[in-house]
Structure 1
């Protein structure tokens, strides 16, 4: 049968499996919209060959190396670069053999689904990776990567991607997006405005970052009014490259709507580096509401990705830097946290605020009831640690009764791992078709409605929500 079972993730009951197959057949070939993700725009700009298999699948993928780290494998042995530039493994074949030796650790995980999908559909490998075949797999993948049809732009077409969004800091010059645009290539690669470095008083170098924002825009970012105007200018610059969304990765979902003098005073305190942790959180919350108000003017969709205790290991942060697999979900409040923003703009149907969560306990208790009544609020899909078959199903089970399907925004892959994008969308489409089949089989949905929903969940909702 090979690596991929044709009925993977479908119900085991024959009748429901048949319904899921039929629904999936109608959406399997739809184009991919990737409205939020972290692939590198440089890939599409330069269209250079990807490096060796280890640099493609292991070293940059925190889903992979965090699992191996949990079993005692040193990050340096996987080629993860050190912050101080110290020694780390550079032999791709050696890293790959270590990866193959520990491939069994991924049994039952979504990473295994994504990796097997890429090995099978992208590279035509049909044997499960193991120490015995590690070198053969490595050599085959390396040979494929040397061919033009395995370069980023060719894979964009092969994957059926209609549009893909990168995530770019507010201070980014978007040079790679400019190169893509100037190249005349047909692919649609757009930035998303991620201003964390200039809205978070606890971000390293915050005051210097705000000064750099002023230099970029010609605005006086030493004043509250000038600081807000600088954000408007940068958002307009991002929009000139096709940007349709902003993205905010805050520790909490807190929002504020302070009177202007209080907001200005808090900003001045942030610039001085004098904020308490609570005041820093309040300032981040104020900026979410300010960004929502800006969205009423420029149309950008506002995404809130809260609830991660980032860089939990101080030792790993010091040795390897940020985003090295040690981000951990935390409990998150939404009812009280979002109220100031929703009081200000929540009843505006011309605004889209997409809220994500890593706290599944909030689905039915808080998020679905909020999205089920406020016109501006929509629910992002199961995210990060819950981007899994079970996580997706739990999301549907816990939110649909209160928020329905049309207060959600379809699927986004939110990944740095380019070759996993088709796999992630395949998993989402199969899980949604399986869930819809159960609704049809239990008499809660007609088959024609299920077909319509399958199309919307796979493509239509994301297109509308992200204005693509």
Structure 2
């Protein structure tokens, strides 16, 4: 173990509890990784080409990194983030890396710092701190390794011991990259997930045109409510042929509705004609979450709901750079009233799995854990996004375990675009969970053999079961 990553990272300070955490961690640290939800690019695995320079691999696509740098006055253009209008941005990877290295101190105490230290250390063998003085030498060391076949995407997936990984594609995606993966005969397990936001959310750019395209793809008449629903069923079935076991829904709220067939059809007709009534548009999104849950009951796809983010908070940055550029901000989110229509419809079904995430931590103990602790269809997703941190993971366990237990949660998923950081994220989650379990053993609330079983469940088995992988 080199100097950057301490062997007792995130373990309790008290020696006896730390010893327990070490023993639990030893049993899980080398388990295969199940990555059931994320946003890595399937073309990486399809083409298996060398990754580009260090900056384009580790900085340019990672909003965790460039949002922090932008907050300190560093422009996205100087970090190589493409503009929608095609205006010039920095293209010299070394120049981008130097900016990052010079400002690495900004990440002290953040999970990004933990992930990046892990990547630099474990993946690239760099055992010195990243600073302005070490910028060029670290860049050269990483670039040299990226030129090696052992650092191509498929080799890394195998090196990372990833048993299965899910990418996320929109409803209109032709899944060509997944077809190439399949045709290649490679035995790495890369599956897709169905993300229908572009054809469910009336506020999504190009929504009407998207429905026309959905009709063209499926042969279903998306001018009619029945045809529109059939188009979703057709696409879901298509995604399943490429290994999909889940759907994903990134709505601003968890609001659901359960309208009668006639009322839902009437609402759809108004939306299809371009209704500008915000109440109707919000109601349509809510109704579609319930429709998706009903379809999941029929076709077995696990449903994920990721609500509570006010996406693209800055209109100016959205216009300049587009989506997913660090300006998604958590909001207060209701679940008790919001999910009730969906749960009234399908919540008592034991063969349905609806995994709910949150960016509003105040809802864990008050709403989400009590709901998941009684409804058979409901499960809690792990600490997510802004809370995908040691502190966030600890808070998640502390606020949910007493009411929902462990088995109404679904293990860990990394939900990342940053492929090299996947082992780091899973390792940190395993360390945090082992520390939490060690505390329960030390307080005589759990036997050590039970904690060992649970550590394995949390690290590997629960995700595999929940996502039907």
Matches within 5 A, 1:119-268: 119-268=120-269
Return the offset for 1:278.
2.0
Counterpart contact for 1:206–1:271, Cα < 8 Å? no
Q: Deviations over 1:89-127 (max 9, x none)?
A: 101100100000100000000000000100011010000
Counterpart contact for 1:308–1:358, Cα < 8 Å? yes
Name 2:272's counterpart in structure 1: 271
Return the offset for 1:285.
0.9
Name 1:65's counterpart in structure 2: 66
User: For the residues of structure 2 that align with 1:270 and 1:307, how far apart are their CA atoms?
Assistant: 23
Return the offset for 1:407.
0.3
Return the offset for 1:405.
0.2
- Other structure's SS at 2:337 match: coil
Name 1:8's counterpart in structure 2: 9
Name 2:55's counterpart in structure 1: 54
Name 2:387's counterpart in structure 1: 386
Cα RMSD between the aligned structures? 0.6
User: For the residues of structure 1 that align with 2:269 and 2:56, how far apart are their CA atoms?
Assistant: 43
User: For the residues of structure 1 that align with 2:332 and 2:277, how far apart are their CA atoms?
Assistant: 21
Is 1:31–2:32 an aligned residue pair?
Answer: yes
Counterpart contact for 1:201–1:275, Cα < 8 Å? no
User: For the residues of structure 2 that align with 1:81 and 1:123, how far apart are their CA atoms?
Assistant: 27
User: For the residues of structure 1 that align with 2:137 and 2:58, how far apart are their CA atoms?
Assistant: 16
- Other structure's SS at 2:165 match: strand
Return the offset for 1:297.
1.1
TM-score w.r.t. the length of structure 2 is: 0.99
Is 1:86–2:121 an aligned residue pair?
Answer: no
Is 1:281–2:282 an aligned residue pair?
Answer: yes
User: For the residues of structure 1 that align with 2:140 and 2:357, how far apart are their CA atoms?
Assistant: 40
| Structure 2 unpaired stretches of 5+ | none
TM-score w.r.t. the length of structure 1 is: 1.00
Return the offset for 1:280.
1.2
- Other structure's SS at 2:81 match: coil
Name 1:300's counterpart in structure 2: 301
User: For the residues of structure 1 that align with 2:274 and 2:20, how far apart are their CA atoms?
Assistant: 59
Q: Deviations over 1:311-355 (max 9, x none)?
A: 001111111111100000000000000000000000000000000
| Structure 1 unpaired stretches of 5+ | none
**Runs of 4+ off more than 4 Å:** none
Counterpart contact for 2:248–2:304, Cα < 8 Å? yes
Matches within 5 A, 1:14-25: 14-25=15-26
User: For the residues of structure 1 that align with 2:48 and 2:26, how far apart are their CA atoms?
Assistant: 32
- Other structure's SS at 1:162 match: strand
Q: Deviations over 1:143-166 (max 9, x none)?
A: 100000000000000000000000
User: How many correspondences in the alignment?
Assistant: 468
User: For the residues of structure 2 that align with 1:26 and 1:302, how far apart are their CA atoms?
Assistant: 31
Return the offset for 1:275.
3.7
Return the offset for 1:277.
1.8
Counterpart contact for 2:306–2:357, Cα < 8 Å? yes
Name 2:444's counterpart in structure 1: 443
Name 1:405's counterpart in structure 2: 406
Name 1:433's counterpart in structure 2: 434
Name 2:370's counterpart in structure 1: 369
Return the offset for 1:393.
0.2
